[in-house]
Amino acid sequence: MESSPKAVRQQRPLSPDEEMVHPKLKRWKGIRWKRLQIVLSIRKGGSKKESSREVSELMERLRITLRPERLPRDKRKCCFCHEEGDGATDGPARLLNIDVDLWVHLNCALWSTEVYETQGGALINVEVALRRGLRTLCAYCQKTGATNSCNRLRCPNVYHFACAIRARCMFFKDKTMLCTQHKLKGPSEDELSTFAVLRRVYIERDEVKQIASILQRGDRIHLFRVGGLIFHAVGQLLPSQMANFHSATAIFPVGYEATRIYWSTRVPNKRCRYRCRISEDEGHPLFEVRVLEHGMEDLHYRDASPDGIWDRIVQQVAKLRSDSSMLKLFTENLKGEEMFGLTIHAVMRITESLPGVENCQNYQFRYGRHPLMELPLMINPTGCARSEPKVSTQCKRPHTLNSTSVSKAYQSTFTGELNTPYSKQFVHSKSSQYRRLKTEWKNNVYLARSRIQGLGLYAAKDLEKHTMVIEYIGTVIRNEVANRREKIYESQNRGIYMFRINNEQVIDATLTGGPARYVNHSCAPNCVAEVVTFDKEDKIIIISSRRIPKGEELTYDYQFDFEDDQHKIPCHCGAWNCRKWMN
């Protein structure tokens, strides 16, 4: 009906009073009153799209309307039209994610000629369109990324979706477009009146792979977001916690953190951020939600179950809505675990592959256990370079950097290029090997569940003895800085990855590190960590100390200093000569 070009006729009799206003005509003389019939014609459809755009343009020009507060600049860019941030609903529309850091506007993708939508709302061929767009210039703005082709056979005109609107091309309900030269002269019943896509539309992608790559980067810049949920940290579970930290439908890793965007309990019709966390309270999970709302004090909720928190929040939202006579929310089926994000497919894939989840006896596995899933699962929450204790009682505090007693083994390797035990046997000079390593390390290793602990690094191909496998990358800092940072990281519950180079310097890989930090300790290692000097800079290189067949986990001896009984870290390397303790 909305897009029907037929005129809608409305008839309305005028009241006698209104008639009096009209000047009397001579031939009506003697007639006291006459009922006039006025016919109003209102054209519906077609023009509606134009007018709403015109109104917003007018508002923009006059600057007299109240505008919502400025949000921080949204730097996500559309790969098709190169414009930043979500577009207007009746224009390019919201941004959809296609890969880490890659976004496309829904309509920029949907209106690409080769893209189609499945029954379930998946957009197919977006990648094909992106490839074509790389080489295709827009007929309107002359920039690349144009993928919306004119439907007339052999017409060369291709536009960005938004440029096609600006150029006043004609859009049809069957998702075709005719350019300015070929568009129909008059209106058509098949012309589309709005571009708003209110149904669920998404682009198929490998979520688990994507999350893994985000977590592997370890830069904490990338988050992943599923609908109204932003995911921050996986957390982990110790074997002793398994029994209490799950329900039949979800696993509750300690340190799990996610932000839910949901209706405010204080401002009607506004959304705010609910920061959800799981921590431990005397052997039981403690669920916490912190409400972050602009210009208002943070609210805190704590409960022994996620439902306990979210039932309260939802009730408050419902009350606020009924008080301000707004539409009722459908909240009957809202579950706390869902609001925490614990039942999201990608999250469950991760929680179900946490080490030791087999012991969650009442939990119903949805995706099964992945014995060797390529995911960084254990990000040591209590700190210390790769030395998370497996059982909490065995270690009261993490191993800390000891600035007075430097590991002798590391010191001995800190002698530069000449005296290292392996230099003689290198076929190439070390610096040329190092240069090659810079580009080729990715072919040497892959990250996967470790047989020893958490994640480990594995040989991706057969590695000959004395091969430079990977560099231990991080920021070089002084001892004092390292000690300070360690305290900060500890208070943030981060896994700490530091590597001592010498008496004064430490490499901090906690925030900026590469995958080398995932190499586990073993008492019978197949690699050594060697400090090598290139261009007057000290680099730590993991070098194979024997031939390593493809698929074997890489290890080196951490050679921690000995500590007293209280601070012992158990070793789980499983080697025949295992010393049972790492320090």
Q: Which residues bind Zn ion (CB under 5 A)?
A: 78, 80-81, 92, 105, 108, 138, 140-141, 150, 152, 155, 157, 160, 163, 179, 182, 523, 571, 573, 578
Cβ of residue 493: shortest distance to Zn ion, in angstroms? 26
Confirm if 443 and 461 have CB atoms less than 8 A apart. yes
Cβ of residue 572: shortest distance to Zn ion, in angstroms? 7
Cβ of residue 104: shortest distance to Zn ion, in angstroms? 6
Helix (H) / strand (E) containing 257: strand 257-263
Cβ of residue 561: shortest distance to Zn ion, in angstroms? 16
Closer to Zn ion by CB, 162 or 211: give it.
162
Cβ of residue 294: shortest distance to Zn ion, in angstroms? 28
Cβ of residue 158: shortest distance to Zn ion, in angstroms? 9
Tokens read off for 98: 């296609």
Confirm if 250 and 362 have CB atoms less than 8 A apart. no
Cβ of residue 355: shortest distance to Zn ion, in angstroms? 17
Would you give the DSSP letter of residue 312? H
Closer to Zn ion by CB, 205 or 220: give it.
205
Beta-strand (E) ranges in 485-536? 498-500, 505-508, 520-521, 527-534
Confirm if 97 and 149 have CB atoms less than 8 A apart. no
Contacts of 576 (CB under 8 A, 6+ apart): 524
DSSP 217-228: H--S---EEETT
Tokens read off for 201: 């539309």
Confirm if 127 and 120 have CB atoms less than 8 A apart. no
What is the rounded distance in angstroms from the CA atom of residue 163 to the CA atom of residue 85? 17
Angle at 496 between CA 491 and CA 500, to 5 degrees: 125
Cβ neighbourhood burial of 274 (10 Å; 0-12, 13-18, 19+)? buried
Cβ of residue 62: shortest distance to Zn ion, in angstroms? 27
Confirm if 30 and 221 have CB atoms less than 8 A apart. no
What is the rounded distance in angstroms from the CA atom of residue 136 to the CA atom of residue 149? 10
Cα of 13 vs its chain's centroid, Å: 61
Tokens read off for 513: 């590190």
Cβ of residue 391: shortest distance to Zn ion, in angstroms? 16
What is the rounded distance in angstroms from the CA atom of residue 151 to the CA atom of residue 177? 6
Cβ of residue 568: shortest distance to Zn ion, in angstroms? 12
Confirm if 81 and 160 have CB atoms less than 8 A apart. yes
Closer to Zn ion by CB, 105 or 430: give it.
105
Closer to Zn ion by CB, 105 or 273: give it.
105
Residue in 507, 496, 258, 277 with CA at minimum distance from that of residue 380: 496
Closer to Zn ion by CB, 163 or 233: give it.
163
Residues 70-97 as b or e (16 or more Cβ within 10 Å = b): eeeeeeebbbbbebebbbbebbbbebbb
Confirm if 220 and 337 have CB atoms less than 8 A apart. no
Cβ neighbourhood burial of 60 (10 Å; 0-12, 13-18, 19+)? exposed
Cβ of residue 486: shortest distance to Zn ion, in angstroms? 24
Cβ of residue 346: shortest distance to Zn ion, in angstroms? 25
What is the rounded distance in angstroms from the CA atom of residue 472 to the CA atom of residue 469? 10
Closer to Zn ion by CB, 163 or 445: give it.
163
